[in-house]
Structure 1
Amino acid sequence: MTVPIASKAVPAPSFAHLARLTDDTGLFEHARHAIPRRQHGYCTDDVARGLVVTSREADPSDTVLRLAECYLAFLTHAQDGSGAFHNRLSHDRRWTDEPGLGDWWGRALWGLGTAAARSPAPWIRVEALTAFTVAASRRSTALRAMTFAGLGAAEVLRGDPDNTVAGALLSDAADAVGMPGDSPDWPWPQPRLTYANAALAEVVVAAGSLRGDERRLVAGLRMLTWLRDIQLTEGRLSVIAVGGWQPAAPRARHDQQPIEVAAFADACATAASVTGQPDWDTNVRQAVAWFLGENDGGTAMWDPTTGGGYDGLTPHGPNLNQGAESTLAFISTLQHARSPNRPAAMRGRVPVSV
């Protein structure tokens, strides 16, 4: 089944390559072309992202449900009693790091919160909420760790608006991001754009909507509007490259990473749900189109024979390796082409001007 967007036909999300990268322990981080590189092992970062996308499937196949169960088991094994997480597990099933509160902690909360709120399997929802509640008592000093954790808290609050643990975490995540400045040229709260930039705007939008704070909601939409505008070139999406960008510096166009596109699609889908404004749906379609070839390289960023996403857009074309992060970014973005995946409106749609 395909869904027409502009002049292209959008494929339904395929979990075939994700299944190829997954064994009975977890999700392999890297691949050479489409073949898993087992020597690099597994990481909580990617397993958590895997739990997000598998939990978004309202009517999962047996394969997708098995993947979700595998990823949830991995995360609960990675978690210690204080709510911190290991990140790296070698192929011989040995942790190579100590539990911590880095980005992987935030993404684990994002995955657990999504599973607790959206999984159609009751046993997954119960276990995910238990693990989420333990981890959500902690706070990280890393901005993006707090951002990802806040996105998980937002998922929980959509299903349970009275969850005080999730509410406090979401508010603290938005506080960590901060409010945009007054300069129209650089309203971003931080001095530099780095990675998963749209997620920062999304968590502020979510906090403003779910916590009933209109000032914060307007601020988050202003951030996202500015980020959208600087990332559009002649109607196509051109995301901030892996080296980042800051004021008065030249902006590189490569290497562009799929994670940026997926974060942008997530944020725009949330903005569309909150505001009801159709422009945000247009931006979601531009994110989908980036993978299908409407990008600075004019080339498809996925392999239709495997269903995997390519690892980056370089000056010479796509990096043909199909690792976990890029494949998950592709699946996540495609999920937004289907309206049933759209998050429920947060306290109703509200008219907002930015």
Structure 2
Amino acid sequence: MRATTAPGRAGPDRTVRLDHLVRLTTPTGLFEHALGSEPRVEHGMCVDDVARALVVMARSEHSDPEAEILTRTYLTFVRSAQRPGGLLHNRRSPDGQWLDEPSTDDHWGRAVWALGTAAAHLWDGELAAVAKLGATSALAARSPHPRAMAYAALGAVELLRADPRHGGALRLLDEARAVLPRPGSDLGWPWPEARLTYANAVLPEALMAVGDVFADDALLADGLGLLDWLVTVQTTDGHLSMVPAGGRGPDDDRPGFDQQPIEVAALAEAAARARRLTGDRAWDVVLERCTAWFEGDNDAGVPVRDAATGGGFDGLEPTGVNQNQGAESTLAWLACAQLVGAGRPRAAR
């Protein structure tokens, strides 16, 4: 597999290396967990991770045969999880058996995000058409979970790039505008939940994305303000100090551990969107801090990625890292490396 370098930055090596992602991938899908760098086959696979992998591959500049194999594998996996009414399975055994009931939990939202992104960005027209069909099917459903709806909104926004009049995407975005949580009135804790939990930045990112589509300046401002606050409460001495796995409330001690790479990736995704929508170069600083967190500018002072293979370590601990390199953490690093040069202004759609 060829490696590509994220454009627009000098200094540390931000080459997007897919070696470890290839190691975790089989013709069926993508193993969720690893022991060190070796896949833990017994733990199976899930749409959550495969959707993240499809997003990374759809946005990549790879067009070689191995990249096409990875992309087809991930797209086929997500499509095979789909059921009538827009529901999706999540968990799958190594031999291809679905192990859970289809639902609209968070994996559904991530699948919509991935399918919409693939429909808009894949270099292969046939694959893009398959992704569009999948996104259209999934958009028939709705989720009661805010993060699932936020991810689905991001997917619907991407789908509009491929089809600006897509009715299913526009309907979901209109409903998301009404149900996505908005900032609270407490200036010290405007977060719309009592605690920060996981993938937090997807909520303000969705507010920004939906606000942009509908030219809703108030919604866009809410998203930008909430993201700015989220960055502030996760920054210490010029580096990111992320929400730990157990979450964070207003009175919790800091720093907290274990810090999860997925939090950094979500923040990078949101910062890149804020940069594109506003042209404000301050968001470049946030993107830089996200990649720097993986490179060792963090609360423990150690890298959270394997520069040689593109693997990501499963968590930042007080004195080091969790040495396991699972799919979620690996894709979090790859997404950050990919985004570091992507947060440039673009013309409004």
TM range (shorter): over 0.9
1:256 equivalenced with 2:259 (yes/no): yes
Contact kept? 1:26, 1:42, Cα under 8 Å = yes
1:48 paired residue number: 51
| Range 245-254 or range 127-136, more displaced | 245-254
Counterpart residue identity of residue 136, structure 1: L
Percent identity between matched residues is 45
1:278 equivalenced with 2:274 (yes/no): no
Counterpart-to-counterpart distance in 1, 2:144 and 2:287: 31
Counterpart-to-counterpart distance in 1, 2:7 and 2:71: 29
How many Å apart are 1:182 and its aligned residue? 2.3
Contact kept? 2:260, 2:315, Cα under 8 Å = yes
Contact kept? 2:313, 2:323, Cα under 8 Å = yes
Counterpart-to-counterpart distance in 2, 1:59 and 1:110: 20
1:268 paired residue number: 271
1:232 paired residue number: 235
| Range 166-175 or range 286-295, more displaced | 166-175
Counterpart residue identity of residue 192, structure 1: R
Counterpart-to-counterpart distance in 1, 2:286 and 2:139: 31
| Range 1-10 or range 262-271, more displaced | 1-10
Counterpart residue identity of residue 191, structure 1: A
2:334 paired residue number: 331
Counterpart-to-counterpart distance in 2, 1:229 and 1:240: 12
Counterpart residue identity of residue 193, structure 2: Q
1:15 paired residue number: 18
Counterpart-to-counterpart distance in 1, 2:245 and 2:346: 32
Counterpart-to-counterpart distance in 2, 1:270 and 1:208: 12
What is the number of residues matched between the two proteins? Answer: 346
Contact kept? 1:31, 1:323, Cα under 8 Å = yes
Contact kept? 1:293, 1:301, Cα under 8 Å = yes
Counterpart-to-counterpart distance in 2, 1:295 and 1:81: 45
Counterpart-to-counterpart distance in 2, 1:345 and 1:44: 31
Counterpart residue identity of residue 73, structure 2: C
Counterpart residue identity of residue 276, structure 2: S
Counterpart-to-counterpart distance in 2, 1:78 and 1:261: 27
1:293 paired residue number: 296
**For each residue in 1:136-164, what CA deviation from the matched residue of structure 2 results, as whole angstroms up to 9, or x when unmatched?**
01101111111111111121123433222
Counterpart-to-counterpart distance in 1, 2:150 and 2:199: 10
1:351 paired residue number: none
Alignment partner of 2:96 out of 57, 70, 93:
93
Q: TM-score normalized by structure 2? A: 0.94
2:109 paired residue number: 106
Correspondences of 1:128-147 after superposition (within 5 Å): 128-147=131-150
1:347 equivalenced with 2:348 (yes/no): yes
Counterpart-to-counterpart distance in 1, 2:75 and 2:9: 37
Correspondences of 1:177-326 after superposition (within 5 Å): 177-326=180-329
**For each residue in 1:82-104, what CA deviation from the matched residue of structure 2 results, as whole angstroms up to 9, or x when unmatched?**
21111111113211111111111
Counterpart residue identity of residue 311, structure 1: D
Contact kept? 1:3, 1:10, Cα under 8 Å = no
**For each residue in 1:106-139, what CA deviation from the matched residue of structure 2 results, as whole angstroms up to 9, or x when unmatched?**
1111110110011111111100000100110110
Contact kept? 1:27, 1:42, Cα under 8 Å = yes
3-state secondary structure, aligned to 1:133: helix
Contact kept? 2:271, 2:284, Cα under 8 Å = yes
Structure 2 residues not aligned, in runs of 5+: none
3-state secondary structure, aligned to 2:302: coil
3-state secondary structure, aligned to 1:193: coil
Counterpart-to-counterpart distance in 2, 1:113 and 1:309: 25
Contact kept? 2:119, 2:131, Cα under 8 Å = yes
Counterpart-to-counterpart distance in 1, 2:136 and 2:27: 26
Counterpart-to-counterpart distance in 2, 1:159 and 1:32: 39
Structure 1 residues not aligned, in runs of 5+: 349-354
Shift in CA distance, 189/327, structure 1 to aligned 2, threshold 3 Å: same
